[in-house]
Amino acid sequence: MSTPDFNLLITLDVLLAEGSVARAAKRLRLSPSAMSRALARLRETTGDPLLVRAGRGLVPTPRALELRERVSQLVQDTEAVLRPAEQPDLSQLNRTFTLRTSEGFAENFGADLIARIAEQAPGVRLRFMHKPDKDSTSLRDGTVDLETGVVGTAAGPELRTQGLFRDRFIGVVRMGHPLSEGEITPARYAAGSHISVSRRGLDKGPIDEALEPLKLERQIATIVAGFSTALALARATDLIASVPERHTANLRAGMHSFALPLSVPAFTVAMLWHPRMDADPVHRWLRGCLREVCSE
């Protein structure tokens, strides 16, 4: 069985509406002969003459009258499917978005994002999920709508990414800590007791790599999985936390922060999403809200 030509539906809709080959041809910007050929194909396909001569004009057959409303609705529905999605009324929207973020991101940017969304779309709810790894399966299978983090090799190559802000590592200690006063040299920084932050429990990272050429090594007192935990420990002890500056701005209130006396590469925090959500107008709006919050 051959595949039907769905373009014939549009031709049939116009022919039945106009009741004239000449007027239908003009409306579809075709020549009268091309429209006559199209009518012949329609007659062959449906097995019905559809429009028959009556005096100087054409009149529809009972089959054509039966099809007229159905064909018109089919054409309207098809046009609606193929039309770009319209921006919905955000004030009437009810939807839950799941965001997977690194520890500290929700604490630092979550309140402003929630407030911005509540102002524009009070029926939208955000669900924040912890990000234990960089596996992109949850974006691919749709259990997560949007993710934030430093883009690594583990991210799926098909994912869409957009940078949110540049960040760098800084040192943080409690107020009154010896490192809160005086010049901080690489040797003085390395000599303190440190907190290592690693989701995989590693005690070495970019900071340790920057210390190696100087023949220096940090003394790691403890290893934690997230920046907020590292800052909580540093706030209550003499331990030194090394954390991203912008990522932890709210979490460092009441503590002393200092630039690292080392050349540690800066990095970009980005948002990631699956291509199937790229054109969704509500998802696009959510991405815009996140960009605006992170740029403030």
Query: Could you tell me the residue ranges of all domains in the chain?
Result: 7-82, 90-166+271-295, 169-265
What is the pLDDT at residue 224? 94
Q: Which of 244, 238, 239 is nearest to 223 (CA)?
A: 239
Class at the top of the CATH hierarchy for domain 90-166+271-295: alpha beta
Sign of the C-alpha dihedral computed for residues 181, 187, 191 and 192 taken in this order? positive
Are 70 and 9 in contact by the 8 Å Cβ rule? The answer is no
Are 61 and 48 in contact by the 8 Å Cβ rule? The answer is yes
CA distance to 12, 39, 156, 252, per residue, from 32 (Å)? 14, 10, 53, 76
Buried b (16+ CB within 10 A) or exposed e, 125-143: ebebeebeebebebbeeee
Model-wide pTM > 0.85:
no
Of the CATH numbers 3.60.40.10, 3.40.50.720, 3.40.190.10, 3.30.70.100, which one belongs to the domain with range 169-265? Answer: 3.40.190.10
| Helix 7-18 with 32-46: angle, nearest 10 deg | 110
Cα 124 from chain centroid (whole Å): 16
In the numeric block, the tokens 């991405």 are attached to 287
Bridge pairing between strands 146-149 and 267-273: antiparallel
Domains 7-82 and 169-265 share a fold: no
CA distance to 10, 68, 84, 89, per residue, from 79 (Å)? 10, 17, 10, 21
What is the pLDDT at residue 2? 60
Of the CATH numbers 3.40.50.1970, 3.90.190.20, 1.10.10.10, 1.20.1440.230, which one belongs to the domain with range 7-82? Answer: 1.10.10.10
pLDDT tens for the 296 residues of the chain, in order? 466 678 888 898 898 888 888 898 998 899 989 989 988 998 988 898 988 988 777 888 999 888 888 888 888 888 777 766 667 889 899 999 999 998 788 888 999 999 999 999 999 999 999 887 777 888 888 899 999 988 765 555 678 999 999 999 999 999 999 999 999 999 999 999 999 998 887 778 899 999 999 999 999 999 998 899 999 999 999 999 999 999 899 899 999 999 999 999 999 999 999 998 988 899 999 999 999 999 87
What is the pLDDT at residue 288? 95
